[in-house]
Every structure is written in structure tokens, then in C-alpha cells.
Amino acid sequence: MTSSASRTRTDAAEAVDLPHGKGLLAARDLAAGETVAVFEGPILRFADVPVEELRHVLWLDGDRWMIPLPPARWINHGCEPNCDVVDRPGDPARFDVVTLRGVRAGDELTFAYNRVDRPDELSALWHPAWTFECRCGAATCRGRIDGYELDR
């Protein structure tokens, strides 16, 4: 039997308070392709998203936006992320956060907030509330994140 809580939580990640805010760490050594968290939550039109949720909101398509529930909502951005967000076949209201490579226990889990899969998505709404100075420490860190870029 699965409860709502067991869908959003996995044994792969733990939410912690980090110097830069909340984040998710690998709870154990992870292999590539493991699901570490699940994005699910209320889906709204952009105009109906509460101001205090703006920085957490996740664009689905068109004018459909998700307010992610914890713990997935605490995953931070990284310019060389160790995770990606992938569709669930047949389940358009949930997205899996999956490791792109092996991750050591205790490493922070990240995905790239600003990467999109298709060129036509580059012109999607980018709200000023999402712009930030990245301090992820990657050699290829973009610095200021203020718009979309294509996933490579």
C-alpha cells in the first residue's frame, strides 16, 4: 500500500538546512538512474500562484504551473547538476528527479532550474523572481541565472 507521503519521499534523499537555505542531500551512495524525489503538488494558472510560492513554482506547459511539495521543493539549482527532472509515462501530474550519475552519500542533489529540452521553450516566461546569482562552485558555473538555456 502506498500513501501520499511514500510517493513524495524516497530513501535516497534527506532534506537539510544548508548555508544557502534548505536543500536535499544524498542519504546514501546512489547509482545513476535512481529516483531521489518526486515533484507533485497543486497545479495552477500562473496568475493564481501565490506570491510567496513564486520562487518554487515549476512550469509544466502552457499556463500550467506546479507548486511542488516537500521534499522535492527543496532541491537546489546546480550548473553541473547530478540530477534531471523526467516525465513519468502516463502520469502528467508527477515528475521524477533522477540521478544523472553516481552520487556519494552526503553530496547535495541538484538539477538545472533553467534548462529546457526544446528550442521553442526558450521563449517561455522567465519571471524576475527566478533570477539569482549562482554559487554552485562548478567550473562551468553560469554565475547569474536569468533565463532559459537548452539542455545539452
Contact residues: Zn ion, CB under 5 A? 79, 134, 136, 141
Q: Which is nearer to Zn ion, 109 or 136 (CB)?
A: 136
Q: How far is the CB of 88 from Zn ion (least distance, A)?
A: 27
Q: How far is the CB of 137 from Zn ion (least distance, A)?
A: 7
Place of cell 501530474: 93
Q: Which is nearer to Zn ion, 57 or 134 (CB)?
A: 134
Note whether 84 and 75 are within 8 A (CB).
no
Q: How far is the CB of 143 from Zn ion (least distance, A)?
A: 7
Q: Which is nearer to Zn ion, 69 or 112 (CB)?
A: 112
Note whether 151 and 115 are within 8 A (CB).
yes
Which helix H or strand E contains 5, and what residues bound it? helix 4-8
- Beta partners for residue 108, in sequence order: 25
